[in-house]
A and B are shown apart, each in its own frame.
Chain A
Amino acid sequence: DAKTTQPPSMDCAEGRAANLPCNHSTISGNEYVYWYRQIHSQGPQYIIHGLKNNETNEMASLIITEDRKSSTLILPHATLRDTAVYYCIVRVYNDYKLSFGAGTTVTVRA
């Protein structure tokens, strides 16, 4: 699976949009971009995934660049409960296995 690069940490203000970047320059055509988050002492939670089109669900939006070498997860209105480690993972579409990197520690401040 392609490797991803994320900033180690970022802060954002409560109520504002949080934009989390992820680089995956070696992504191949059959690999999806997945985002998970892990709130302290809990199991990871699925957020969203995409192949090449932008995606939106009730939790977040995923913007994938046209060349697919990077993506941005957008939390439209961050709350204190969004404080977590966010993982960007690239994986072949039919492979269940997920490998986690270091992720981005996001701290939402009041």
Chain B
Amino acid sequence: EADIYQTPRYLVIGTGKKITLECSQTMGHDKMYWYQQDPGMELHLIHYSYGVNSTEKGDLSSESTVSRIRTEHFPLTLESARPSHTSQYLCASSEATSSGNTIYFGEGSWLTVV
């Protein structure tokens, strides 16, 4: 079983609050990702990292930010949450090879901004 963990699983917060979604993996993977998925909709890549101190924005514009200070940790932060940020956020990791490696997902974090 792949070891990638996300916390919190569910969170309801008020508008304007700062929130950090945690993601950790114990597999030593270099590549990590954050995806956003609204109910019934497709997944969209919002951030990715190919290693420590490497972060890039994904296909979907997001007001969130990420950091990668340690290989195993890839937190996502919203400085001032808004109702439009209500969504499921999925963290993932994979090994840094050219092909043939499965991507592993966390259980997801459901964020509701009221």
Check if A and B associate.
no
